[in-house]
């Protein structure tokens, strides 16, 4: 069965610092997609970044970047120059065959 594990239930950093959220997954598939979603207190689910498994280059979106290690089945999210608005739950997700498998989430708190 495919699983997604986020080992950090909660993290907090000072504003402007860099923080890395970890995510590992287990699958026998070769073609799949990986995502990081952000859920602020409004509970709106917002796509932060996505990675296609066939691409070796790590995805980046402004201050957000990933470290995708396919052999290790690892997909961490790095947030640079963190801002107060980054405070949210962050979910890692794996997509294959119409199924999106979710991690349990990491609560990220950015302190002023």
Site string for other proteins, 1-40 (x = CB under 8 A): --------------------------------x-x-x---
Check if the beta carbon of residue 95 is closer than 8 Å to that of residue 33: yes
Q: Please, which residue, 17 or 61, has the CB nearer to other proteins?
A: 61
Q: Does 107 bind other proteins (CB under 8 A)?
A: yes
Check if the beta carbon of residue 31 is closer than 8 Å to that of residue 90: no
User: Binders of other proteins among 33-72, rule CB under 8 A?
Assistant: 33, 35, 37, 43-47, 50
Q: Does 105 bind other proteins (CB under 8 A)?
A: yes
Please report the sign of the dihedral spanned by the C-alpha atoms of residue 89, residue 44, residue 104, residue 77. Answer: negative
User: For 84, phi and psi rounded to 5 degrees?
Assistant: -55, -35
Q: What distance in Å separates the CA atoms of residue 37 and residue 91, rounded to the nearest whole number?
A: 5
User: Closest Cα partner for 108 from 26, 40, 36, 24?
Assistant: 40
Q: Please, which residue, 17 or 70, has the CB nearer to other proteins?
A: 70
Shortest CB 92 distance to other proteins, Å:
9
Binding site for other proteins (CB under 8 A): 33, 35, 37, 43-47, 50, 89, 91, 93, 95, 98-100, 102-105, 107
């Amino acid at each position: 069965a495919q699983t997604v594990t986020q080992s950090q239930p909660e993290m907090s950093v000072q504003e402007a610092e860099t923080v890395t959220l970890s995510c590992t997954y287990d699958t026998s598939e070769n073609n799949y997609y990986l995502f990081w979603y952000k859920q602020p207190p409004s509970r709106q689910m917002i796509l932060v970044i996505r990675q296609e498994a066939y691409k070796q280059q790590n995805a980046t979106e402004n201050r957000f970047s990933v470290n995708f290690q396919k052999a290790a089945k690892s997909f961490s999210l790095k947030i640079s120059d963190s801002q107060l608005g980054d405070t949210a739950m962050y979910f890692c997700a794996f997509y294959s065959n119409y199924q999106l498998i979710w991690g349990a989430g990491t609560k990220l708190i950015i302190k002023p």
